[in-house]
Chains A and B, each alone.
Chain A
Amino acid sequence: DAGITQSPRYKITETGRQVTLMCHQTWSHSYMFWYRQDLGHGLRLIYYSAAADITDKGEVPDGYVVSRSKTENFPLTLESATRSQTSVYFCASSEPRGPPRETQYFGPGTRLLVL
């Protein structure tokens, strides 16, 4: 688990500000994911990436931007934060060439509060 880290762990920001959440993994996993966790909704996929420079939208991508210039990093940017983006954000990674092929390993999470 120590192989995937997120920063910051806690963040308070204001409506309209740009915020970037960082995710770093040391396993050289090909796949990386961003989820948000909200009460009553479970974990919802925001964006995912199959490799460096390959990203795609998940279930709830609006208001978010991602990039992946290096395999180990997958930052998530909120371009103009809104109160509805207050949430706990989890990054995850997996290696499809496995085994275990499908297991996703989660980072410790970032708690974001938008005032």
Chain B
Amino acid sequence: GENVEQHPSTLSVQEGDSAVIKCTYSDSASNYFPWYKQELGKRPQLIIDIRSNVGEKKDQRIAVTLNKTAKHFSLHITETQPEDSAVYFCAASKNTGFQKLVFGTGTRLLVSP
């Protein structure tokens, strides 16, 4: 089955810096890659997603890139702010009629003022 690896497990940056979180997946049939943000004590919430027919997607300060050949995708956050501090999870799934997500183990991002 699908396996998703996520790095780094923790990431500390200064406010205003950029942050990059990387994930690799094993199943070449996977075609949907969402990113979820989970603030402390809260539920995971979708922040951005990308499908395999697209190489990059942006939404204000966040962007996701996908390299299907290498089977990896990355989350980029620019001009980080303290409110970006959270745990970020990547996930992958394939369209077999049922979207069963396989999650990475998470990255704890700490943005220091």
B interface: dominant SS: loop
B43 lies within 8 A of A41 (CB):
no
In Å, the complex CA distance between A45 and B99 comes to 12
What is the distance, in angstroms, from B48's C-beta to the closest C-beta of chain A?
A: 11
Give the most central of B43, B49, B103: most A CB within 10 Å.
Answer: B43
In Å, the complex CA distance between A65 and B100 comes to 19
A40 lies within 8 A of B105 (CB):
yes
Which residues of the partner chain A approach B45 to less than 8 Å between Cβ atoms?
A: 1, 106
Interface residues as binary, A77-115 with B (CB distance below 8 Å gives 1, 0 otherwise): 000000000000010001010001111101111000000
Which residues of the partner chain B approach A103 to less than 8 Å between Cβ atoms?
A: 34, 46, 49
Category for how many chain B residues contact A? 20 to 34
A interface: dominant SS: loop
What is the distance, in angstroms, from A89's C-beta to the closest C-beta of chain B?
A: 11
Which residues of the partner chain A approach B98 to less than 8 Å between Cβ atoms?
A: 31, 48, 50, 96
Say yes or no: A102-B105 contact (C-beta < 8 A), given A1-B43, A50-B98: no
Q: Chain B residues in contact with chain A, CB under 8 A? A: 1, 6, 32, 34, 42-46, 49, 89, 93, 97-106
